[in-house]
Structure 1
């Protein structure tokens, strides 16, 4: 196995384990045993347990961004939003435990982990802002703040839904997709109807 393939294998094993238990309970020993390698070999690929956890978080963030990328075949920005949010809900539903662990676990207070989360949010915000001109709007500081606030709303609402769904998946999807135009309206930005 090439070094890159081995590293990817270890990260994938880590992602599997995070789907079953909190990140702080994913030990180097358990990963080494599952991979059939020595503990020392794992440290050949990762400087520390923290470095390994960061690699797991970065991989999950990349996977989520890939599956929620705007559909280039769609032209209507609101249809693009609907499509991306559908993919987001599906992704976090399938990766419920690991998503909750990263967003709410001890790792969320780590500066390196927060940087991954912040970078992921920045990509998500930029995707929305890239489509604002198609609505006949200008990207202003108010629009930027609204988009960033909406992303926080989406995260918190989705986490609440994952923790104990009291509404259906479709109701959640309708809520988070309708929230962005509503927030924009509250900020004095008129979003044209779909």
Structure 2
């Protein structure tokens, strides 16, 4: 038996926000390909046509949901204001691991879609990871931990790719190491890479 949410009159902006929130919630437990427009419209108590009205179609909705999820990732991984650089990096990486673990299906599908040639999703992915990388240099303007050099920027990007792969692998099989061990590897490997230069 299907339960339909009663229709509630919302402003266009409130309705758009509601749809994005529902899309992000659904994306946490299913891949982008499994995100059902019909199920989402039913949960919101609107017609499929109204959802298309707000986003211009299925692809526009998917892109908006992925952008919202990317914005959430960026916000949730903001390092704390207090602590030394390594403590702040560890806190940020803990938030990243927790975000990926809680949203594994959707996060994995975004990584696949970005790698698979979807230009719009690739742009969201690249912009988000560039912004995350930029944090390292903005948070450390004196360059105490991470001097802003082309070589260090390249290392940060490579480290991000490693951190993403390691986190996704750990989420698929958390028995390979503890969460604390994973975080020590993630937070300790960037300074170690920088030190080698």
**Corresponding residue for residue 111 of structure 2:** 103
Is 1:93 the equivalent of 2:106? Answer: no
**Corresponding residue for residue 35 of structure 1:** 44
CA distance in 2, matches of 1:3, 1:114: 28
TM-score scaled by length of structure 2: 0.87
**Corresponding residue for residue 172 of structure 1:** 182
Task: Work out the number of aligned pairs and report it.
Answer: 185
TM-score scaled by length of structure 1: 0.89
Root-mean-square deviation (CA, aligned residues, Å) is: 1.6
2:137 to 121, 129, 134: 129
CA distance in 2, matches of 1:108, 1:42: 27
1:146 to 155, 179, 184: 155
User: Relative to 1, partners in 2 of residues 1:136 and 1:112: Cα closer, same or farther, differing over 3 Å?
Assistant: closer
Alpha carbons 2:136, 2:146 under 8 Å: kept: no
Residues 8-17 or 131-140, more deviating: 131-140
CA distance in 1, matches of 2:31, 2:102: 16
CA distance in 2, matches of 1:17, 1:184: 38
Is 1:9 the equivalent of 2:28? Answer: no
CA distance in 1, matches of 2:59, 2:41: 15
